Amino acid sequence: MIASTGTWDRCRSPKRSPGCGTRLTKELFDKSLRRSPDGNRRRTVVSLQRAFESVLETPHAISRLDAVLWQQLTLAVTDPEHPWSVGTLITTDAGSPTGQPVPDGRMVVLRNVVTARRTLECHTDVRSGKVHQIQDCRHSPTPSDLPSRIAWLFYDPAAKIQLRLQGRAQVINDASADVAWKDTPLASRSSYLSIATPGTEVPSVLPPSTDDRIVSDEASERGRASFRIVRTVIDRSDWLYLRPQGHLRMATVYAGKSPLSRWLVP
Ligand SMILES: Cc1cc2nc3c(=O)[nH]c(=O)nc-3n(C[C@H](O)[C@H](O)[C@H](O)COP(=O)(O)O)c2cc1C
């Protein structure tokens, strides 16, 4: 087979499984699904509104909402139709031409979630700007291995639910990256096959060719050299639901064993 130039799609290996940290109860899973209105295609789509409403109707919802939040993130890893399957990863560019650290965000596919460790992962090219930003701006007074601060942003326009996460990021290239690379189908591997560094300015009026990404299975192995996991460990979240009967906002801190959630004035 030959890799197409389709790049950041949600092509998945059939072997892929969601992060092991969350067990989705069948009840909650069913509650988050609804039938698509387009009768012909009969695909099942996730309703975030339904998932969160099912908990909001119960007493002490504040102690249960965070679990739903992580269950939905876990679902988003394996369901390309999930509204949170793609999010914005925000880093800080400490080496910007302005001389000031500037925030920088971009869309990425959510590839793995492990609730027990509060980790979210995406895949990227080691030559990309975000990797340099994560590795450059450690924001630590002393040189250390402390990962840099990052944020994630997810939004579901249908449910009008926003999720902001903050934490730390590390760029991973260990055995878990080998496994993730093996699970990356040929079409997605093309994202890592460009000969020139992604983001390089092109001195031509024509857009650059992407023919270097159309390769066979075997030749796609050269992409492994550029492939990395960005692993983020989340330490706080801010969930906002523009609920028709009144907006709701909840902040959660993940410090000890149990998350600590509080209502905020929306
Ligand atoms: C829907 C969508 C999904 C994307 N997914 C990824 C991804 O999973 N990983 C990635 O590195 N870039 C992804 N990209 C491309 C990034 O948004 C970005 O353009 C690219 O990674 C370069 O960003 P950087 O220069 O800040 O590193 C995606 C773009 C779109 C529109």
Task: Return the CATH number at 183.
Answer: 2.30.110.10
Q: Pick the residue whose CA is nearest to atom 11 on ligand 1.
A: 124
Q: Establish whether residue 6 lines the binding site of ligand 1, counting it when its CB lies within 6 angstroms of any ligand atom.
A: no
Q: Is residue 116 part of a domain?
A: yes
| Average pLDDT score over the chain | 86
Query: What's the confidence (pLDDT) of residue 96?
Result: 82
- List the Cα angle 215/229/18 in 5-degree steps: 95
Q: Establish whether residue 105 lines the binding site of ligand 1, counting it when its CB lies within 6 angstroms of any ligand atom.
A: no
How many C-beta atoms lie closer than 10 Å to residue 225's C-beta?
A: 11
Q: Is residue 49 part of a domain?
A: yes
Instruction: Work out the widest C-alpha separation in the chain, in whole angstroms.
Output: 63
For the cut 80, the answer to whether the pLDDT of residue 43 exceeds it is: no
Centre of ligand 1 from the C-alpha of residue 134, in Å: 15
Centre of ligand 1 from the C-alpha of residue 8, in Å: 7
- pLDDT band per the 50, 70, 90 thresholds, residue 236: very high
88, 95 Cβ separation under 8 angstroms = no
Host domain of residue 70: 26-197+211-264
Query: What's the confidence (pLDDT) of residue 51?
Result: 96
Q: Is residue 257 part of a domain?
A: yes
What is the total count of domains within the chain? 1
Nearest of 180, 153, 134 to residue 86 by alpha carbon: 153
Q: Is residue 7 part of a domain?
A: no
Q: Pick the residue whose CA is nearest to atom 2 on ligand 1.
A: 107
Q: Is residue 78 part of a domain?
A: yes
Centre of ligand 1 from the C-alpha of residue 218, in Å: 25
Query: What's the confidence (pLDDT) of residue 4?
Result: 60
Q: Establish whether residue 108 lines the binding site of ligand 1, counting it when its CB lies within 6 angstroms of any ligand atom.
A: yes
For the cut 80, the answer to whether the pLDDT of residue 35 exceeds it is: no
Centre of ligand 1 from the C-alpha of residue 125, in Å: 9
Q: Establish whether residue 260 lines the binding site of ligand 1, counting it when its CB lies within 6 angstroms of any ligand atom.
A: no
51, 34 Cβ separation under 8 angstroms = no
Q: Is residue 16 part of a domain?
A: no
Q: Is residue 12 part of a domain?
A: no
For the cut 90, the answer to whether the pLDDT of residue 169 exceeds it is: yes
For the cut 90, the answer to whether the pLDDT of residue 25 exceeds it is: no
According to DSSP, the residues that pair with 230 across neighbouring strands are 122, 171
- pLDDT band per the 50, 70, 90 thresholds, residue 1: low
Q: Establish whether residue 155 lines the binding site of ligand 1, counting it when its CB lies within 6 angstroms of any ligand atom.
A: no
Centre of ligand 1 from the C-alpha of residue 131, in Å: 12
Query: What's the confidence (pLDDT) of residue 99?
Result: 87
Query: What's the confidence (pLDDT) of residue 37?
Result: 52
Least confident of 10-24, 40-54, 206-220, 252-266: 10-24
Question: In this predicted model, what pLDDT tens digit does every residue of 95-130 receive, in sequence order?
Answer: 888 888 999 999 999 999 999 999 999 999 999 999
Q: Is residue 70 part of a domain?
A: yes
Question: In this predicted model, what pLDDT tens digit does every residue of 133-160 receive, in sequence order?
Answer: 999 855 444 444 567 999 999 999 999 9
